[in-house]
Every structure is written in structure tokens, then in C-alpha cells.
Amino acid sequence: MALAPAVPPPDPGGRTALRPLATTDAAAIRRIYGPGAVRHLPRPPMDARQADAWLARHLRERPGPWRLTTWGITAGPAAVPHEKPPLIGVIRLVRRARYAAEIAFILHEDVWGRGHATRALALVLPRAFDDLDLIILRARHHRDNTAARRVLTRAGFVLREATEDQVTCLHTRGAWQAATDPWSTLLPG
């Protein structure tokens, strides 16, 4: 049985939160996938049509265990009460096997270096390992994207493989449990 894409709670500092994507997010998605942010991706910046198609694809429900779960990353409250806070990025989790998934994130270049990616990962990791019962997470980034490497390292990912243009990092449930509950490594089983 697939779990609904529940939204993890906001970080204790209240600066970064995750929310479900909305049909009104296409313009924000286009800004997020702008020229600076796609510099290390194998794609050009999005135009309006591509942003609409991307959003429609990520809003659709995918049945079964091969579920794509995408959350919008926000910073701070909405400018107008009762409206969704604006997106500054997205983070997605794609199940690749029963106990394995790939995680990816992207932020608008105006908010780089403020800790939002690190906090967004910290919000998704408990969901991945505890709620979805995953054992391993994989993240990939361009070899020249040293900021992504630092974010993944801070979140507990370790280098697995490096090619001419791509770095693959892994995080395991065992490492997650040891980091969140050091006593778990002392228990049998």
C-alpha cells in the first residue's frame, strides 16, 4: 500500500517548510528552473509551456509502489493570509525499487547559500527512512556543483561513485538510525 505524500512538518527554526505543489505554481517552477539553477543540469531553462507540463506531471497521482513524490520548498509565511507561501525550490523522491529511491532538489538561485536545501533534506529524510521504510537513498549531482556536494555531505550522504561529469552519493537507513538514535547501533538485530 502506497502512503499519501504527507507533508513533513516545518523545521524548528520556521525558515524552511515543504508543501504540496499547487496548480498555481507554474510561474514559480519556471523561475526555479531558470538559467542559473540549471547550469549543472542536462537541460536548458524552462519556458512557460515546459513549466506547465512539468507541474502537470508532478501533480498527477502515480499508483503503486513506483511513486513520485514532489514537495515545494518554501521560506517564510505567505504574503497574504490563507494563501500558499511562494516556492523557492522543489525536492522530489522517486522510488526506484522496493527499498530504494532517488532524491533530488533544486532551488532558485536567489536563495542559494541560506541553508534551505540542507533543511529541506532534513525534513524529507525521516519521511523516506521512517515512514516509507526505504533502506537506501541515492542522490546525483554534476561534478562541478560543489554546493550540492556540501548539502548532501551535511545530510549524511557519502560518495559512492564519481565519473567525468557526475557524482553519485548514497545514504542508508542504518546511517540514518545511528545519526538520529545512537543507541540503536547497540541493540541486537
Residue 106's domain is classified under what CATH number?
3.40.630.30
**Position 108 in a domain:** yes
- On whether residue 189 sits in a domain, the answer given is no
**pLDDT above 70 as % of the chain:** 77
Residue-averaged pLDDT of the chain? 81
**Does the pLDDT of residue 92 top 50, yes or no?**
yes
Residue 10 domain-assigned (yes or no): no
Q: Domain for residue 118, yes or no?
A: yes
Pick 23 or 81 by higher pLDDT. 23
Per DSSP, the residues of the chain read -PPP-PPPPPPTTSSEEEEE--GGGHHHHHHHTSTTTTTTSSSPPP-HHHHHHHHHHHHS---SSS-EEEEEEEES--SSTTSPPPEEEEEEEEEEETTEEEEEEEE-GGGTTSSHHHHHHHHHHHIIIIIS--SEEEEEEETT-HHHHHHHHHTT-EEEEE-SSEEEEEEEHHHHHHHH-GGGGGS--
Domain assignment present for residue 126? The answer is yes
Place 84 in a pLDDT band, splitting at 50, 70 and 90. Answer: confident
pLDDT value for 12:
53
Of 143, 79, 72, 134, nearest in space to 108 by CA = 72
In a domain, 1, yes or no: no
131 has pLDDT over 90: no
Q: 38 lies in which domain range? A: 16-184
Number of domains in the chain: 1
* Predicted structure pTM score: 0.80
Tens of pLDDT, residues 22-62: 999 999 999 999 998 898 888 899 999 999 999 998 888 65
Cβ atoms within 10 Å, residue 42: 8
First vs last C-alpha separation in the chain = 25
Residue 11 lies in a domain: no
